[in-house]
């Protein structure tokens, strides 16, 4: 209730305005003039120009020649995010693959490396992959701004993975830096949900479901990622389908993963790899998934579910059973249809989201980046 009586410091005003200008340019579909930035932000033209000059010098913005125009007057140069400035290095480790992804500030994926094979033995391969991706980025003239790692498990502050059951990790400390760069460690479904949100095609609230060997969810409510009290929300892989069902790796019985996880789906379909699944009967997995999604909808009242990971390409085969179960179990299904969508980024959503988390850090705090950049 107490009104703030602290004077706003000049440096924090500048930091705020730098972010305002950078985000205004980043959110504009087309190159945007300094005058248009001034109009959109309410800042004076002189202030905008000074800030833009700093952002250009710090490799965050670039000025492009205007398109020729037939009307009177010299057309203004347009601003857009720099394609050759900072890049986010996204990493993902999962049970049977690892991936790295370099994304520049325009959102373009510059490099994307995937290696399949069992990842449960160690993290050396991941580190090597990260080094390779970083070298590729820097050979392009990009500056690797930071690293983010998507993990299929529960992550706490300080880069500690409490538990990633399917990787067999428990209390694994990855720390806050990797290779001299700031490191973010986050749950893979959270990062994937954020990258699906960034496509701009989804409503303000939705639940992203990541189907891999484990199953996780990223919950976006009113435009923001809902992390939970300790950052451990969205563990839908361990919602029971049948409390007396098969034993799960987590120690409980009948968890969703035992019906709709990748291994369970392959076993039920009698095929060896995910590539063989299209065309198989996936109704049992779809029913289990639909039962749990009905629970998610009854609890959270969201009307959009995005299916990612291996579920994205399998949605046509899964949809009938999922929809039947939602129709049967969601109390409100009769009044309001539930939209089931395949993830736009498919299995790449998590690693893309990891790179995006690094870039989001710059968009939210360009002053911090400029400070680091100046001392390079």
Non-local CB neighbours of 124 within 8 Å, separated by 6+ positions = none
How far apart are alpha carbons 194 and 156 in whole angstroms? 18
Q: Of 127 and 226, which CB lies nearer to its own copies in the complex structure?
A: 226
Contact call for residue 335 and its own copies (CB under 8 A): yes
Among positions 102, 151, 239, 367, the unique one binding its own copies when judged by CB under 8 A:
239
Among positions 7, 180, 200, 243, the unique one binding its own copies when judged by CB under 8 A:
243
Contact call for residue 353 and its own copies (CB under 8 A): no
Phi, psi of 49 (to 5 degrees): -65, -40
Non-local CB neighbours of 45 within 8 Å, separated by 6+ positions = 34, 35, 38
303: exposed, middle or buried (C-beta count within 10 Å: 0-12, 13-18, 19+)? middle
Contact call for residue 221 and its own copies (CB under 8 A): yes
Phi, psi of 196 (to 5 degrees): -65, -40
Contact call for residue 241 and its own copies (CB under 8 A): yes
Among positions 47, 49, 106, 298, the unique one binding its own copies when judged by CB under 8 A:
298
**Using CB under 8 A, which of the segments 73-81, 134-142, 227-235, 367-375 binds its own copies?**
227-235
Q: Note the residue count of the chain.
A: 376
State in angstroms the smallest separation of the CB of 222 from its own copies: 9
User: In 3D, which of 102, 65, 107 has the Cα closest to residue 82?
Assistant: 107
Contact call for residue 165 and its own copies (CB under 8 A): yes
Q: Of 146 and 216, which CB lies nearer to its own copies in the complex structure?
A: 216
Contact call for residue 251 and its own copies (CB under 8 A): yes
Count of residues in contact with its own copies, rule CB under 8 A: 59
Among positions 64, 328, 337, 339, the unique one binding its own copies when judged by CB under 8 A:
328
User: In 3D, which of 82, 102, 79 has the Cα closest to residue 91?
Assistant: 102
Calculated CA dihedral for residues 220, 225, 230, 232, nearest 10 degrees: 50
Strand partners, 112: 101
State in angstroms the smallest separation of the CB of 331 from its own copies: 5
State in angstroms the smallest separation of the CB of 236 from its own copies: 6
Contact call for residue 11 and its own copies (CB under 8 A): no
State in angstroms the smallest separation of the CB of 3 from its own copies: 3
For 311, other C-beta atoms within 10 Å of its C-beta total 30
Site for its own copies in 43-62 (CB under 8 A): 43
State in angstroms the smallest separation of the CB of 201 from its own copies: 17
How far apart are alpha carbons 63 and 32 in whole angstroms? 9
Site for its own copies in 14-43 (CB under 8 A): 20, 23-24, 27, 40-43
Longest dimension (CA), the chain: 77
Among positions 94, 166, 197, 233, the unique one binding its own copies when judged by CB under 8 A:
233
User: In 3D, which of 223, 202, 27 has the Cα closest to residue 106?
Assistant: 27
**Using CB under 8 A, which of the segments 136-144, 192-200, 215-223, 263-271 binds its own copies?**
215-223
Contact call for residue 226 and its own copies (CB under 8 A): yes
Q: Of 112 and 227, which CB lies nearer to its own copies in the complex structure?
A: 227
Calculated CA dihedral for residues 250, 253, 257, 259, nearest 10 degrees: 160
**According to DSSP H, which parts of 167-282 are helical?**
188-198, 257-260, 262-269
Residues near its own copies (CB under 8 A) are 1-5, 20, 23-24, 27, 40-43, 154, 162-163, 165, 203, 205, 217, 219, 221, 226-236, 238-244, 250-252, 291, 294-296, 298-303, 328-329, 331-332, 335-336
């Amino acid at each position: 209730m107490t009104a703030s009586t602290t004077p706003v410091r000049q440096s924090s005003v500048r930091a705020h305005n730098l972010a305002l200008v950078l985000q205004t340019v980043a959110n504009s579909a087309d190159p945007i003039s300094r005058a248009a930035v001034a109009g959109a932000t309410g800042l004076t033209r002189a202030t905008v120009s000074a800030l833009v000059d700093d952002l250009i010098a710090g490799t965050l913005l670039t000025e492009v020649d205007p398109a020729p125009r037939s009307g009177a007057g010299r057309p203004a140069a347009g601003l857009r995010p720099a394609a050759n400035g900072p890049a986010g290095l996204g990493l993902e480790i999962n049970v049977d693959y690892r991936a790295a992804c370099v994304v520049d500030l325009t959102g373009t994926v510059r490099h994307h490396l995937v290696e399949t094979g069992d990842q449960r033995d160690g993290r050396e391969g991941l580190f090597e992959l990260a080094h390779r991706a970083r070298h590729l980025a820097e050979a392009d003239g990009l500056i690797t701004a930071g690293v983010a790692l998507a993990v299929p498990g529960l992550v706490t502050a300080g880069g500690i993975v409490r538990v990633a059951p399917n990787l067999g990790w428990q209390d694994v400390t990855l720390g806050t830096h990797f290779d001299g760069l700031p490191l973010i460690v986050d749950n893979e479904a959270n990062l994937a949900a954020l990258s699906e949100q960034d496509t701009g095609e989804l409503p303000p609230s939705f639940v992203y479901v990541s189907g891999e060997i484990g199953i996780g969810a990223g919950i976006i409510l009113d435009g923001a990622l809902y992390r939970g009290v300790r950052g451990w929300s969205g563990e839908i892989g361990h919602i029971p389908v049948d409390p007396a069902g098969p034993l799960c790796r987590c120690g409980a019985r009948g968890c969703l993963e035992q019906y709709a996880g990748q291994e369970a789906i392959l076993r039920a379909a009698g095929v060896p790899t995910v590539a063989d699944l299209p065309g198989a009967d996936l109704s049992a997995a779809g029913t289990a998934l639909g039962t749990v999604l009905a629970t998610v909808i009854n609890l959270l009242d969201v009307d959009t579910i995005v299916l990612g990971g291996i579920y994205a390409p399998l949605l046509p085969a899964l949809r009938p059973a999922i929809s039947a179960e939602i129709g049967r179990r969601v109390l409100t299904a009769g009044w309001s249809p539930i939209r089931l969508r395949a993830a736009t980024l498919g299995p790449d959503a998590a690693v893309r989201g990891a790179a995006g988390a690094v870039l989001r850090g710059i968009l939210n705090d360009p002053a911090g980046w400029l400070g680091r950049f100046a001392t390079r």
